[in-house]
A = this chain, B = another copy of it.
Amino acid sequence: MLQRYLPIVEWLPSYDRHTLSQDLFAAVIVTLMVIPQALAYALLAGLPAVTGLYASMLPLVAYTLFGTSRTLAVGPMAIVALMTAAALSGIVATGTVAYSEAAATLAFLSGIMLMLMGIFRLGFFANFLSHPVVSGLLSASGVLIATSQLGNLLGISMSGFTLIDQLAGLATHWRDFNVPTALIGLGSLAFLMLMRRAGPTLRRLGMTATLSGFITKAGPIIAVMISTLLVWAFDLQAHGVAVVGEIPRRLPPLALPSFDPALISTLLMPAFLISLVGFIESVSLAQMLAAKRRQRISPDQELFALGGSNIAAAVSSSMPVTGSLSRTVINFDAGARTPAAGSFAALGVALVTLYLTPLIHFLPIATLAASIIVSTFTLLDARGLKRTWRYSKRDFAAMLATIVLTFVSGVEVGVMAGVGLSLALFLYTTSRPHSALVGRVPGTEHFRNVERYTTEHAPSVALLRVDESLYFANARYLEDTVYAMVAERPALKHVVLIGSAVNLIDASALESLEAINARLDDSQVKLHLAEVKGPVMDQLKQSDFLDHLTGEVFLSTYHAWEALRQEDAVVTPLQGDPPSRQN
């Protein structure tokens, strides 16, 4: 019990000086690297920049206690920040104390939901976000996030959480851009894009891969330093360049969030979607990294840990957090061995907040906007779009719906539409099952689709393989298929339903089987079953269907064929293609 909910008791006893030094090193790197990002995502969420620092303290400590991934780093994350802003925008005015309080309430609700889902082991909920929907969501919100920062980048005021609102804002106000802001913004953007691609060049100049990797990842901190110096030196603030400004030099105030019932009921759905999206991101990241080091994570405990982190965020005047891709990659590459590295990084951020914030007073918002825009490039997945189109039009439809609706109506609607459409298409597919008449591959005990293979068959025996579990949505369809087949074949005396692909027969399908059995009996045709799976047979025995069955239950299609084909001549194929590698 203790081990389940507090994985720290597993690794803490064997914690030694060597691990400590590795974790400490990683923490120093993470602290330096993620500060610009933390400030930027707080702004993206519509919150004061300092909230990003607060979100990088207590939540990290909570994850150290509860997390099962050795290297996952939690903190503010772009999509979650965007969803936070979208959830709060209609309810409270941006920039007010009430807005910050509502963000804490949102984190609290999300934390409670995640914890409950963890306790009740509902991690499988995340499985209902299909890969195409997640990929579509990441791409679309990447675009939304990038567009949302164009205002900050150019020094114009625009807002909106749909692409249409954003583009309309841009079209209306683009002439108002502030020259020094735009120069700093576009300059930072160009610099960051160059740094991202600088790796090969640096290595060609003789640097090791590790060093060049760190330098490219240090892009944001370098851009922050240079642009801050420029603003300070040339007093650009007086020329209209927005800066981070005064940051209170204190630790986050601890307080319970607001429990206003009206606020809570409005935020329930956004909190649920933020939890789900955050969990998916976090757990797939953690799984990927655990696989690299042959470690294991527990998705249900990850839910609990993320819940704990969000509650920690809520009581420290902060915002919803989750496992963050960029933070985690830096942490992993810097050699973090245990979740303790997260707590050390939290300590680092606290020290920065207490002693170094005057240094970032002149940090221009436009540079932060540039760093957000660059970070969205990793979200875009154009290749995935093309691959999915080629592989499955249905999956592509769900992906496209997610993208289009995220653009038109925001992330929440996009996710819900994507999940809804994925489920609807799956149900539709299973409601019209593929079925195949099979015949014997000559000289073997194998039976294959008569339309794909050259097979033997007998006019009085129909071997029908149903390629789907039988349940209410396709029960009537099965009836239609069987009746149509019987109507076409007057010589038929035996219908064998082959159950090798039938994993479930529910009560509605049982009714249909009973109807088929009775109706075939009226036409002097016997119904047989073959290759019924163990669990399905166990369930059929709970009904009296097998007592009424006019035919028999055969272990294999071959047994059925041997027993039933006796009655008439077998039609052997004269010619045909050689069997291919499929059935």
Contact = CB atoms under 8 A, between A and B. Distances in A.
B431 A508 contact: no
Contact of A581 (B394, B427, B537): B537
Contact of A130 (B130, B423, B506): B506
A432 interface: yes
A434 B535 contact: yes
Interface string A391-430: 1101100000000000000000000000000110011011
Interface stretch (A37-45, A121-129, A246-254, A351-359): A121-129
Given A472-B129, A501-B501, A555 B579 contact: yes
A556 interface: yes
Given A467-B533, A469-B430, A504-B429, A127 B388 contact: no
Interface in A472-527: 472-477, 500-504, 506-508, 510-511, 519
A195 B194 CA distance: 92
Given A127-B477, A131-B475, A537-B582, 20 more contacts: A124-B473, A126-B476, A127-B431, A128-B472, A131-B511, A132-B507, A132-B508, A133-B472, A291-B519, A392-B506, A392-B542, A423-B427, A430-B469, A446-B556, A449-B534, A467-B533, A468-B503, A469-B469, A500-B501, A555-B583
Contacts of A175: none
A508 B391 contact: no
Contacts of A133: 472
B394 A533 contact: no
B533 A503 contact: no
Interface in A132-152: 132-133
Given A391-B510, A582-B532, A433 B539 contact: no
A429 B468 CA distance: 14
User: How many copies of the shown chain assemble into the complex?
Assistant: 2
Interface string A362-395: 0000000000000000000000000110111011
A486 to B, nearest CB: 12
Contacts of A432: 124
